[in-house]
Amino acid sequence: MKQIISAAVTPFTEDGRLDVESAARLYRFGLQHGLDGFFVMGSMGEWALLAPDERDLLAETACSVIGKKAKILLGISDTGLPSILRNMERWAHLHHSHWTVIPPGNWAGPGDPVKYLHGLADRADRPLYFYYLPAFNGVSITMAQFRDILAHPRIAGVKNSAGSMRVRKELLYLKRERDFELY
């Protein structure tokens, strides 16, 4: 089944403040035009520009406007595992369907990306998408690692932003073996 999941833009006012009213209008516009879901906080890296209270407000706005009308892939990315887990805890009460995470640079220290993502998925209370963005965190994943990552029952899919047709092709081949969502 094909779905249209929009990378939700995070609007700001001219003076640099979060524009919650415009965000709500954008969500309503997407719903009116049949979007199947929204990727909130992470599509353009704006999460790094937002203070924790602004992230809270944006997450609350998205979840209240979109509700159960479409998927909400809520970005919990941050600078390290403790802050990612705090984001997950802070927004656990909100209605959204999935978590999405760009692991921090070099996996916040030495380690295995499979174990890192499985550990995060073990702590998640809902399905998790792995946002693959090697240009951001400097870590490339092999297809064997993707296969292992996607073996976790709570990892729902991959948002692939590797910028590589080879990676895209290999992930499409992997989809023939496994049921996961690929964006």
Q: Domain map of the chain by residue range?
A: 1-101
- Cα distance between residue 90 and residue 144, in whole Å: 33
| CATH assignment, 1-101 | 3.20.20.70
Q: What is the pLDDT along the chain (183 residues), one digit of tens a residue?
A: 678 898 888 999 999 899 999 999 999 999 999 999 999 987 566 777 888 999 999 999 999 999 999 999 999 988 888 889 999 999 999 998 999 998 777 655 547 889 989 999 999 999 999 999 888 778 889 999 999 999 999 999 999 999 999 999 999 999 999 889 998
Closest CA to 147 of 175, 182, 119, 116: 175
| Token code pair at residue 113 | 């990306």
Farthest CA pair distance, the chain: 49
Distance between start and end Cα atoms, the chain: 12
Give, in order, the Cα–Cα distances in Å from 82 to each of 77, 87, 145, 149. 11, 9, 23, 20
Q: How many Cα neighbours within 13 Å face the side chain of 98? A: 24
